Structure 1
Amino acid sequence: MTTREEQITDAFVELADCLVEDFEVTDLLHRLIDHALQLLDADAAGIMLADAAGVLQVVASNSHAVEALELFELQADAGPCVECYRTGEPVTPGSREEMRAWWPTFAPAVEALGYSSAQAVPMRLRDEVIGALNIFRTAEGALDARDLKLARALADVATVSLVADRTITARQLLADQLQRALTSRVVLEQAKGMLAERSGIGVDEAFTAMRDHARRSGRGLRDVAADVVARRGTIPS
């Protein structure tokens, strides 16, 4: 049986592989989410990155409902990712009452989805914060110290992978990576809807099917989604 230590090692190796290999940014972001859900006391997660103007954009999430929640967070301009990006520090309310007090508009939306805790850790490289990893839990309260430390470490490694190219500045590379992520998100949303309709499954199940197929075939998630949109090949669902 795989131990937690082995799972953590595998997660860091997989995220760090992007430092030495050509990688698809969408795959990296969704792998960060997968590892967060596997290794932390978390039930849902999403990622926001800042564009060249410093405006946060939703780039990845583990479900359609969480994506909608994160979009609402941006619209309300209140919530853990927004605050985390502004301060560069983890945002971890210790109770449901504290979450409600901090974000009276956003907290009810969190609870409506069945979560009792919303928190975030920064994605940062030295002093530059490029976004945040959002974590939602059905259990009330903040992540414990061990999980919070691990969450920060996972986010840090993913951030380094995003801005690892030394031939151009980190900000230039990040702008390119973010644009790729946003473009991929549009293709993914189209593909999820099309595959769901064709196969008679939910959009979240459609995404899981595409992601699993991409990993089994060693292809990028965006490429698999593009095939679905173009009606090339089949995706086992």
Structure 2
Amino acid sequence: MTSREQLLASTFVSLADTLVADFDVIDFLHTLATRSVELLNVDAAGIMLADGKGGLHVMASSTEEARLLELYELQNNEGPCLDCYRSGRPVARDDQSAMRQSWPAFTKELQGLGFHSAQALPMRLRDQTIGALNLFRLQPGQLNQADLSLGQAMADVATVGLLQERAIAASELLATQLQTALASRVQLEQAKGVLAQRAGLPMDEAFQVMRAYARSHNRRLSDVAAQIIDGTLDDNHVRTSPNPKPRAQPQT
């Protein structure tokens, strides 16, 4: 088995294993985003999920640029992820001219951050769509069919995982998890900013440092974030934890 096949097998196991007692939805979604970059011909990925009222929220991203693009989509009500969530179908455009015609403001922002292609895959189960997976490329053009099929399979498995029942009905579980995840996400962004300022780190690196510390100490990200914010966790101690391999950043 090749290293890519091993990573692929590990990814599907991770995306299907949501019934553990300490299931962490934020870490789960970041796994989907980072594995999308590692397994598909894309340079960044992000995930939006809907809350109980149907409002979309940025929940995970592989880079700071991806997070900013998704926030821009929400703020301007324009972009492939929104169209994908609303239609429940994959969304892409053949070239930049078609992208500018569909999403003029978003395409300008996309290019300003160094990307030249964006498309989105629905996170859905049958007729229920709970969000979308955004895929960004530095090069123009869509993903090939093999990568699209793999990306959709990953999104589908992740969706099934999120919708699995524990002790309550799947819809009630999802609503609870997403509301908790949204609150955790706000706290994580605050902690990321605090750590970045205190330690003089880029925002992306600050998050990776927090995540590495949480994983190496078998702790939840939300608990680590809370201690960083209130100052009870020493910044230097957090930074000494093993860091994941650095990711290439888009060139503007």
TM class by smaller structure: over 0.9
Q: Give the structure 1 partner of residue 248 of structure 2.
A: none
Aligned to 1:160: 160
Residue identity opposite 1:72 in structure 2: Y
Distance 2:20 2:71 in 1: 33
Asked if the contact 1:96/1:117 (under 8 Å) is kept, the reply is: yes
Residue matched to 1:216: 216
Kept in 2, the 8 Å contact 1:192–1:206? The answer is yes
Structure 1 runs of 4+ with >4 Å offset: none
User: Who is 2:181 aligned against?
Assistant: 181
Deviations 1:176-213 (A, max 9, x none): 12111111111111111111112111111100111122
1:236 maps to a residue whose letter is R
Query: Is the 8 Å Cα contact of residues 116 and 138 (structure 2) preserved in structure 1?
Result: yes
* Counterpart in the other structure of 2:25: 25
Aligned-residue offset at 1:2 = 5.1
1:157 partner amino acid: V
Structure 2 distance, partners of 1:197, 1:167, is 41
Q: TM-score, normalised by structure 1?
A: 0.94
Letter paired with 1:38: E
The amino acid that maps onto 2:119 is Q
Q: Residue 12 of structure 1: CA displacement?
A: 0.6
Partner of residue 247, structure 2: none
**Structure 1 position 76 matched with structure 2 position 79:** no
SS of the counterpart of 1:18? coil
Number of the residue aligned with 2:58: 58
Partner SS, residue 83 of structure 2: helix
Shift of 1:215: 2.1
Alignment partner of 1:45 is 2:48 = no
**TM-score normalized with structure 2 length:** 0.88
Indicate the SS of the match to 2:52. Answer: coil
- Unpaired runs of 5+ in structure 1? none
Whole-angstrom CA distance in 1 between matches of 2:204 and 2:104:
28
> Residue 32 of structure 2 aligns to which amino acid in structure 1?
L
The separation in 1 between residues aligned to 2:16 and 2:153, in whole angstroms, is 12
What is the alpha-carbon root mean square deviation over aligned residues?
A: 1.7
Query: Which residue is 1:5 aligned to?
Result: 5
Query: Deviation of residue 128 (structure 1)?
Result: 0.2
Displacement of 1:14: 1.4
Q: Aligned partners of 1:124 and 1:220: how far apart in 2? A: 27
Question: What is the distance in 2 between the residues matched to 1:187 and 1:27?
Answer: 14
The structural deviation recorded for 1:74 is 1.3
Task: Answer yes or no: is the 8 Å Cα contact 1:91–1:121 preserved in 2.
Answer: yes
The whole-number CA distance in structure 1 between the counterparts of 2:20 and 2:60 is 23
Maintained 8 Å contact 1:93/1:99? yes
Instruction: Give me the identity figure in percent.
Output: 52
Deviation at 1:15, TM superposition (A): 1.5
Alignment gaps of 5+ in structure 2: 241-252
Alignment length, in residue pairs? Answer: 237
Does residue 231 (structure 1) correspond to residue 231 (structure 2)? The answer is yes
* Cα distance in structure 2, aligned partners of 1:166 and 1:225: 26
Per the TM alignment, residue 31 of structure 1 is displaced from its structure 2 partner at its CA by 0.8
Distance in 2, Cα, partners of 1:226 & 1:184: 9
Contact 1:92 1:143 in 2 (8 A): no
State the SS of the aligned residue for 2:122. Answer: strand
Determine if contact 1:121/1:134 at 8 Å carries over to the other structure.
yes
1:71-115 deviation digits (Å, cap 9, x = unpaired) = 111122221110101111111222222211211121111111010
